[in-house]
Amino acid sequence: MQRLGPWSREAWTVLALHLLRSSRSPNTGGLFFHCVQGGLVQSSAREFAEARMKTQLELNKEKSSFVIKTPKGTRDLSPQQMAIREKILNAVINCFKCHGAKGIDTPVFELKEILTEKYGEESRLIYELKDQGGELLALRYDLTVPFARYLAMNKIKKMKRYHVGKVWRRESPSIIQGRYREFCQCDFDIAGQFDPMIPDAECLKIIHEILSTLQLGDFLIKVNDRRVVDGMFAVCGVPDNKFRFICASVDKLGKMSWKDVRQEMTGKIGLTPDVADQIGDYIQQCGGVSLVEQLLQDPKLSQNKQALEGLKDLKLLFEYLTLFGIAEKISFDLSLARGLDYYTGVIYEAVLLQSPTQQGEEALGVGSVAAGGRYDGLVGMFDPKGRKVPCVGLSIGVERIFSIVEQRMEVGPLIRATKKIQTTETQVLVATAQKNFLRERMKLIAELWDAGIRAEMLYKKNPSFLTQLHYCEETGIPLVAIIGEQELKDGVIKLRSVASRKEVDIKREDIVTEIQRRMSES
């Protein structure tokens, strides 16, 4: 046996698959190969056959112990969760429409090349599809890059659009923080060449409106500018090739202490302690427009062209935010860096502030519930001639918002007791108290359905009357339309209110109108 390794894990996987599938090993002149942990083994035919059988047995073993579940980091949504989601998504979409946005949709996967070199360090989190003999594909990582691709492909120079859809990231899932590998994003973006900071201010206004409408508690929107970040790194003496790593490091401030962030900068990334400390002096500052003005006077930063432009724009932005009446919720925060490669100007991130009274929610953590920024170069990356379309946008972290609302509904004893989450909207149950009335129930319910009334019946030939009433109570159906021998003879339907237990006979031809009347009253 001659050992030929070590190779990468990928190469081994494919070789193992190949060996399993082929009836014989890949061979030349009677040589056989098979895989053992960490190496390719040149083997005899018998050795190969044994190795193959062993692999097959292991595969079978895996299969029999197969546990039924959703993929790691993903989950199903129950009718209760869907009902909550529907309300939240409707509020978010309504706000986007309020600002004149149009909806679009894009495929969930893109050509792999479209996603390459857009996300910096986070590219490794992209899900790729298997090469099944066609194009190389990958699941979208966000809705921003597909939007930029859409604009470039259709040569659109100006557009205000929203997009609600799922995105996928191979992150370590943290269910307690409401972080999943599959999650929903709600994006709003403004593309086009406009006067500075007007669309940018509108994006912040939208975040403010949505977080206010959803009543999630107090929040803060951190704002910075990518040019200020880069300028700051430059004047502190960070080498160009380390910007990306330092960016990611800076983003951790808040989750980690400055001491630990500094450790990372001087350790793994290899900054000198002096450079790290200069960065530290900047990024530990946050404030309002006065901090912007102070930094405009900063002897080092004001000498950097990029930083100066960023600071001037931030000053204008604060003026517009004051006109929109939302400046008090905005914090200029030099530690906000946003690691994605495509940002070029203003960046922002909204966080919920933990209110001290809601201690039951502490376990959920806070963190970002909305984020975004300006990306003026992304569309140009897709255009064959590099023509740029400036863009600014935002993404609502609805998944975290869902978690918060769901947890409140579970925790909040008042809400729980008084208001069960309604998952169906059925208005009336077609029922009978007698045997052999299936056919009559069917005729009646078809009349109701045809009139657009939300109706159900039990799928039993002869259900007990009590079972039918219980079903109404369980599922919150308010009315029962009862048919029996007497009703049939009299040409009426008995209409019963589940809550009051009152029953009245309604003429068959008036039943639709009567149900509609009762529903419009309630």
Contact between 251 and 371 under an 8 Å Cβ cutoff? The reply is no
Q: How far is the CB of 332 from a copy of itself (least distance, A)?
A: 20
Q: Which of residues 85-114 bind a copy of itself (CB under 8 A)?
A: 86, 97-111, 113-114
Cα gap 515→522, rounded to integer Å: 11
Strand, helix or coil for residue 509: helix
Q: Is 28 exposed, middle or buried (0-12, 13-18, 19+ CB in 10 A)?
A: exposed
Residue 102 vs 255, nearer CB to a copy of itself: 102
Footprint (CB under 8 A) of a copy of itself, residues 188-217:
190, 192, 194-195, 198-199, 201-202, 205, 209
C-beta of 57 vs 442, nearer to a copy of itself: 442
Instruction: Determine if 69 is a binding residue for a copy of itself (CB under 8 A).
Output: yes
The smaller minimum CB distance to a copy of itself, of residues 451 and 504, is found at 451
In the complex with a copy of itself, which residue's Cβ is closer, 198 or 504? Answer: 198
Q: Which residues pair with 109 in a beta bridge?
A: 139
Q: Among the candidate windows 4-12, 249-257, 302-310, 496-504, which touches a copy of itself by CB under 8 A? A: 4-12
| Cβ neighbourhood burial of 394 (10 Å; 0-12, 13-18, 19+) | buried
Residue 242 CA to residue 104 CA, distance in Å, equals 37
Cβ proximity to a copy of itself: between 258 and 324 the closer is 324
Nearer to a copy of itself, 4 or 353 (CB): 4
- Among 360, 484, 473, 487, CA closest to 411: 360
Interaction between residue 317 and a copy of itself (CB under 8 A): no
Annotate each residue in 392-431 with x if it binds a copy of itself (CB under 8 A) or - if it does not, as one string.
Answer: -------------------------------xxxx-----
- If one asks whether residue 71 binds a copy of itself (CB under 8 A), the answer comes out as yes
- Reduce the DSSP state of residue 217 to 3 states and report it: coil
- 68, 363, 414, 417: residue in contact with a copy of itself (rule CB under 8 A): 68
Binding track over 7-46 against a copy of itself, x by CB under 8 A: xxxxx-xxx-xx--xx---x-x--x---------------
E strand or H helix at 519: helix 511-521
157 binds a copy of itself (CB under 8 A): no
Those residues with Cβ within 8 angstroms of residue 6's Cβ, 6 or more apart along the chain or in another chain: 38, 39
- The rounded radius of gyration (Å) of the Cα atoms in the chain is 31
Of 169 and 262, which has the nearer Cβ to a copy of itself?
169
Contact between 494 and 479 (Cβ < 8 Å): no
Instruction: Answer for the pair 102, 162: CB distance below 8 angstroms, yes or no.
Output: yes
8 A C-beta contact, residue 200 and residue 403: no
Size of the site for a copy of itself (CB under 8 A): 110
| Three-class DSSP category at 23 | coil
Residues between 426 and 455 that touch a copy of itself (CB under 8 A)? 426, 438-439, 442-443, 446, 449-450, 452-455
How many angstroms separate the Cα of 486 from the Cα of each of 137, 437, 483?
66, 12, 8
- Residues in 111-150 at the binding interface with a copy of itself, rule: CB under 8 A: 111, 113-114, 127-135, 137, 139, 149-150
Q: How far is the CB of 371 from a copy of itself (least distance, A)?
A: 21
Which one of residues 36, 324, 354, 506 is an interface residue with a copy of itself (CB under 8 A)?
324
In the region spanning residues 343 to 382, those forming contacts with a copy of itself, defined by CB under 8 A, are: 382
